Amino acid sequence: MQIWIAAAVMVASFAAGAGAPPQRAPIVAAAADLNPALAEIAAAFLRDERQRVELVFGSSGLLTRQLHDGAPFELFLSADESFVEQLADAGLTRDSGALYGIGRIVLFAPHGSPLKPEDGFDGLARLLDTGRMTRFAIANPEHAPYGRAAEAALRARGLWDRLQPRFVLGENAAQAAQFATTGNAVGGIIAYSLALSPALKPRGTYWLVPDTEHPPLGQRMVLLRRAGPVAERFYHYLQEPAARAILKQYGFTIPK
């Protein structure tokens, strides 16, 4: 009998917990390429403003889908501009948002890989010729902007079709980076911001793909309709010098 009472109490407490609007930190959803950079900015925000934000990372496409399905995010940092436009068109955002940076991609290879990034795409082509190409990691172009940029650059160099059977697709930029660095692939095209992160930097070498090789990765952020004052403040903080310095340090080009 006591078990049933305990069950009833717990179910009731769950329901009550769902009912009361929680006084908690706003949730910021961000593209996976921001993983180390945004964590650093959030730490700085906590230090400077004594305000806390929760960070959720994923591919911009997945996060957009979750926002359509009612995810309780207050601020969304996309790795491109189209997803923000899409949300704005659906009426979920406050406005059209702001550009917080322009992303870059790199050709990355872990130490000991037959791929030598410093040779650029020519090195990649040569490796394909030798037949020593095993797996090559990129983010899934379907919903990850860094995957799209990689696709554009590879197509421009005529390598896309030849690499097709070799691809291993990360669900987002961070997973692609993980695939590219753990030695299971010869390397991959990953976000510059991740290549510069303390976790990846010691793992391999990279070559910065010229920004002429792919359409610019305009990184747009936007406040959702439900955004509260803390999220709003963080949105502005991201456009202030302290945050911009961190973004720059992670390889983002800061828009004027």
Partner 1 sequence: MDWRALGVSLWLGFGTVLVLVPFGLWLGHTLASRQFRGKGLLEALVAVPLVLPPTVLGFYLLVAFGARSPLGEAFEAIAGQALAFSFPGLLLASAVASLPFAVQPIQRGFEAIPVEVREAAACCGMPPWRRFARIEVPLAWPGILTAVVLTFAHTLGEFGVILMVGGNIPGETRTLSIAIYDRMQAFDDRGAGLMAAVLLAVALLALTLTTVLGRRVGPRRG
Residues in region 108-147 near partner 1 by CB under 8 A: none
Please pick, from the candidates 78, 93, 140, 197, the single residue that binds partner 1 as defined by CB under 8 A.
Answer: 197
- Residue tagged 């930190």 (tokens): 25
Please pick, from the candidates 78, 178, 193, 205, the single residue that binds partner 1 as defined by CB under 8 A.
Answer: 178
- DSSP bridge pairs for 195: none
Cβ nearer to partner 1, comparing 49 with 54: 54
- Residue tagged 């990184």 (tokens): 219
* Contact between 14 and partner 1 per CB under 8 A: yes
* Contact between 43 and partner 1 per CB under 8 A: no
* Contact between 10 and partner 1 per CB under 8 A: yes
Cβ nearer to partner 1, comparing 17 with 165: 17
Are residues 29 and 56 in contact, defined by beta-carbon separation less than 8 angstroms?
A: yes
* Contact between 11 and partner 1 per CB under 8 A: yes
Please pick, from the candidates 60, 64, 113, 175, the single residue that binds partner 1 as defined by CB under 8 A.
Answer: 175
Cβ nearer to partner 1, comparing 38 with 238: 38
Residues in region 54-113 near partner 1 by CB under 8 A: 54-58, 66, 69-72
CA angle, residues 238, 150, 243, in degrees to nearest 5: 10
Classify burial at 5, counting beta carbons within 10 Å of its beta carbon; exposed 0-12, middle 13-18, buried 19 or more: exposed
Question: How many CB atoms are located within 10 Å of the residue 16 CB?
Answer: 9
Please pick, from the candidates 43, 46, 199, 242, the single residue that binds partner 1 as defined by CB under 8 A.
Answer: 199
| Selection from 36, 30, 82, 43 nearest residue 177 by Cα | 36
- Total residues contacting partner 1 by CB under 8 A comes to 35
* Contact between 32 and partner 1 per CB under 8 A: yes
Q: Which listed range, 105-113, 145-153, 168-176, 238-246, lies at the site for partner 1 (CB under 8 A)?
A: 168-176
Please give the Cα distance from 25 to 41 (Å, whole number). Answer: 15
User: Measured from the CB of residue 91, what is the shortest distance to partner 1 in angstroms?
Assistant: 12
User: Measured from the CB of residue 15, what is the shortest distance to partner 1 in angstroms?
Assistant: 7
* Contact between 46 and partner 1 per CB under 8 A: no
DSSP 224: B
Residue 67: CA atoms inside 13 Å, Cβ hemisphere, count?
35
User: Measured from the CB of residue 181, what is the shortest distance to partner 1 in angstroms?
Assistant: 8
| Selection from 24, 55, 25 nearest residue 40 by Cα | 55
Are residues 109 and 117 in contact, defined by beta-carbon separation less than 8 angstroms?
A: yes
Give the start-end residues of each E strand in 32-155. Answer: 54-58, 75-77, 98-103, 105-110, 136-139
Which residues make up the interface to partner 1 (CB under 8 A)?
4, 6-7, 10-11, 14-15, 17-19, 21, 24, 27, 32, 35-36, 54-58, 66, 69-72, 172, 174-175, 177-178, 181, 197, 199-200
